[in-house]
Structure 1
Amino acid sequence: MSDYIVEFNNVTKEYVRQVALQNISLKLPRGKLIGLVGPNGSGKSTILKLIAGLVRPSRGSVRVNGRQANRMLASEISYLSELDVLYPFYTVAETIDFNAGLFRNFDMAKAREMMSFMQLDPGKKVKDLSKGNRGRLKIILSLARQVPLILMDEPLSGLDPLVRDSIIQSLISYLDLEQQTVIMTTHEVTEVEPILDTVVAIQNGQLRGMAEVEEIRMTHGQSLVEWMKHNLA
């Protein structure tokens, strides 16, 4: 088994009127919490979609667990979209039950434990949840999957600081990094820095830097934000 769970080899992704990624080559290690950082429109979400097999590269190749990325890998990947795709008339409990029926690797006991940890009312309808609690529910659905790779597109987006703190705690508490790898896009860099192992900087569809967060702090004496300013200048 390779040390790398994701490998991009000279990947370019073009949409009709836009080049989203330009000649990206990178290898992402297993068992890490990896942050994709960069400005809006830099190509971070496209990277996640390529890994999940939701879109195909225009040129180059994307491999996940040694195989070409495609939709057939959905059973091995948990993907949290930035979009709100929850059914509004389901309750929290019904939403969890529905997802348990979709995925054989859904850990119901873990989902219920996280629901209690995040203080979600199982009988409350999704349409009546605050944005913060909908965010919490999406996190539960993602982390309850017993899969080797979890992709999270802006899981903290638009959430107030107290909610973000509880979600970051849940990432620490409910991940098994001996068995799982997490790749997340985020703008809340300062808040997630303590839990990230590796960071990848993307700008204008190009790879601008990749480093271990501990190395940034210890070797370069920089915070993650300072490192980003240097690489994304």
Structure 2
Amino acid sequence: MSKHIASFSNVTKKYLGQIALNNVSFDLPRGKIIALVGPNGSGKSTILKLTAGLVHPSQGSVTVNGKTAERRIAAEVAYLSELDVLYPFFTVAETIKFNAGLFADFDEQKAQEILSFMQLDPNKKVRHLSKGNRGRLKILLALSRRAPLILLDEPLAGLDPVVRDSIIKSMISYLNLQEQTVFLSTHEVSEVEPVLDLVISVHEGQIKGMDEVDHIREQYGLSLVEWMKETLAK
């Protein structure tokens, strides 16, 4: 088994002739919580979609768990989109049951534990949930998978601090980092900093920096926000 759960090799991605990623190469180590940081439009969501196999590189290659990243790697990847893809007419319990039927690696017992932790009402229809509780439900669905790679696209976006704190705690409590890796994009850099192992800075479709969070603190004496600003200024 490779020590890397995912690898990008000279990846360029264009949309309608516009370059979203420009000749990007990096490896994601297994068993880590890794953040992708950078301004809007920098290429973060494109990197996550490529990793999930939802879009394909214009050039280069992306592999996940030793396989080419494409839609058929769904069993290897749990992907939380920043878009709201929940069915509004389902209850919370029905949403969980539906996802359990979709994915063979869905752990219903873990889902029930997270449901209790997140204080979600299983009988409430999705359309009646607050934005914060919809965010909690999406996180629950992703973390209930036993997939080796969990991708979270802006999981904290638009959520109030109390909700963000509970989601960050659940990421630690319900992950099996012996067998799983988390790769997330975020704007809330300082809030997730305590749980991160590794950070990748991206700007204008290029990787500007990649380093271990402990190394950034010890070697440079910087917070992640300060490190990110320095990398983006290069």
TM over 0.5: yes
Correspondence for 1:183: 183
For residues 168-213 of structure 1, the C-alpha deviation after alignment (integer angstroms, 9 at most, x for no partner) is: 0100100010100000000000000000100000000001000000
For residues 57-111 of structure 1, the C-alpha deviation after alignment (integer angstroms, 9 at most, x for no partner) is: 0001111111211111001110000000000011100100110111111000000
Structure 2 matches for 1:60-71, cutoff 5 A?
60-71=60-71
Classify the secondary structure of the residue corresponding to 1:232: helix
- Unaligned runs of 5+ residues in structure 2 are none
Classify the secondary structure of the residue corresponding to 1:95: helix
Which moves more between the two structures, 120-129 or 64-73?
Answer: 64-73
Classify the secondary structure of the residue corresponding to 1:41: coil
Correspondence for 2:209: 209
How many angstroms does 1:220 deviate by?
1.0
Correspondence for 1:131: 131
Give the whole-Å Cα distance in 2 for the aligned partners of 1:44 and 1:151. 11
Structure 1 residue ranges, 4+ long, deviating more than 3 angstroms after superposition: none
Give the whole-Å Cα distance in 2 for the aligned partners of 1:60 and 1:102. 31
Correspondence for 2:30: 30
Structure 2 matches for 1:120-199, cutoff 5 A?
120-199=120-199
For residues 29-84 of structure 1, the C-alpha deviation after alignment (integer angstroms, 9 at most, x for no partner) is: 00000000000000000001111110100001111111211111001110000000
- Tell me the TM-score normalised to structure 2 length: 0.99
- One-letter code of the match for 1:143? L
Give the whole-Å Cα distance in 2 for the aligned partners of 1:168 and 1:67. 29
Correspondence for 2:89: 89
Give the whole-Å Cα distance in 1 for the aligned partners of 2:128 and 2:183. 30
How many angstroms does 1:125 deviate by?
0.5
How many angstroms does 1:134 deviate by?
0.2
Give the whole-Å Cα distance in 2 for the aligned partners of 1:225 and 1:159. 20
Classify the secondary structure of the residue corresponding to 1:150: strand
How many angstroms does 1:17 deviate by?
4.0
- Unaligned runs of 5+ residues in structure 1 are none
> Quick check: 2:65–2:76 contact (8 Å CA) kept in 1?
no
Give the whole-Å Cα distance in 2 for the aligned partners of 1:25 and 1:19. 15
- One-letter code of the match for 1:149? L
Give the whole-Å Cα distance in 2 for the aligned partners of 1:98 and 1:6. 28
Q: Give me the CA root mean square deviation.
A: 0.6
Give the whole-Å Cα distance in 1 for the aligned partners of 2:154 and 2:201. 15
Correspondence for 1:44: 44
Classify the secondary structure of the residue corresponding to 2:31: coil
Classify the secondary structure of the residue corresponding to 1:60: strand
Give the whole-Å Cα distance in 2 for the aligned partners of 1:225 and 1:152. 20
Number of residues paired by the alignment?
233
Correspondence for 2:110: 110
Question: Taking every aligned residue pair, what percent have the same amino acid on both sides?
Answer: 68
For residues 120-163 of structure 1, the C-alpha deviation after alignment (integer angstroms, 9 at most, x for no partner) is: 00000000000000000000000000110000000000000000
Classify the secondary structure of the residue corresponding to 1:46: helix
